[in-house]
Copies of this chain bind each other. A is one copy, B any other.
Amino acid sequence: MKKENISIKEIARLAGTSVATVSRVINQNGRFSEETGQRVREVIEAYNYRPNELARSLRVDKAQVVGVIVPDITNEFFSYIARKIETDLLEKGYMAVICDTNESMEREKQYIETLKAMRVGGIIYVSGDQKIEPIRGIPAVYIDRKPEFVNGDRGSCFIGGDNYQGGYLAAQRLIRAGRKRIAIVLHARTIATQEKRLNGYRQALYDYGIPGGEELIYQVENVDMDHGFRITKEIWESPERPDAIFYSSDILAIGALQYFHERGVKIPRDVSIVGIDDIPLSARVTPALTTVRQDYLKYGSLASNAVVKMMKGDQEKRTYILSMELIERETV
């Protein structure tokens, strides 16, 4: 165990050439004879040499790394997106660093600072805070939650679902099942996204002549099973129970399932439920959850394509809005 990490200089010496040439063959640019190339490659192979990424990145002032910021890695919606991005990026020769903010805005800011200091080449925000400032000078793509500034900012790219449609589909399904008092539970912190779902829901109610009303709108501070459980308890103990509930996230709806099970409430006999996202778990809970599918893996692949393009200098300030789809299962 002499030199822990062999350097390009050493390789050059061993191959009887200069560092410049070694660099050329490693990066396949500039010119060098096939013979030299061969010799250099052999030495690299023999010594199992890997260029120091730190040095390379410092020199070009940009790391082959993209930061992926998610609010809750324990939610399948985000972990599957993260995995998709990671896989895609790896194939393209980039490293993804996944940062879980645990829903903390402070952590989000901290990560951005750190990622900048690491000179990452790009950042993918999944459902970041919509009030965040645009990141200057580094390609950023936003998934799911649209930051307020996106429209005006050059070099920003947004990918998300048609939330209006999602809200409409959910409410419509509930109406068609003959439900009359349809509650909706929203995430308090993600105003823009949630507002569109609310609008879709309202439009459906309106189209079918079903009464709505502020008392049917509930908000939840966090998106997890526990909050789903608790808001459902609150809803169910309210003076006028709804006969259907649309949860603005499968994970909330799954928490609701637990509550209703404990209370002996039969689904869909006593109450109908629809969620949104269609995470894998939704198909596996009991009863299986009727939901609105978001093609979140697509979000991931569009995002990785977009950052890579942007990192290569292309303008990619597009906005992608993907449509959603109702998935029929057992809770309606």
Contacts and interface: CB of A to CB of B under 8 A. Distances in A.
A328 to B, nearest CB: 16
A225 interface: yes
A53 interface: yes
Interface in A269-300: 280-281, 284-286
Interface in A46-105: 50-55, 57-58, 61, 63, 65, 73-74, 76, 79-80, 82-83, 86-87, 90, 95, 97-100, 102
A136 to B, nearest CB: 7
Interface stretch (A122-130, A141-149, A255-263): A255-263
A4 interface: yes
Contacts of A110: 90
Residue of A54, A100, A229 most packed against chain B (CB within 10 A): A54
A53 B53 CA distance: 12
A284 B260 CA distance: 11
Interface string A114-154: 10111100000000000000001100000000000000000
Contacts of A119: 5, 52-54
Given A87-B102, A95-B118, A258-B284, 16 more contacts: A4-B136, A4-B137, A5-B137, A50-B117, A52-B117, A53-B114, A54-B54, A54-B57, A54-B63, A54-B118, A58-B58, A73-B73, A73-B82, A74-B280, A79-B79, A281-B281
Interface of A: 1, 4-5, 50-55, 57-58, 61, 63, 65, 73-74, 76, 79-80, 82-83, 86-87, 90, 95, 97-100, 102, 107, 110, 113-114, 116-119, 136-137, 225, 229, 254-255, 257-258, 261, 280-281, 284-286
8 contacts: A1-B137, A50-B113, A51-B117, A52-B58, A53-B114, A73-B83, A258-B284, A286-B286
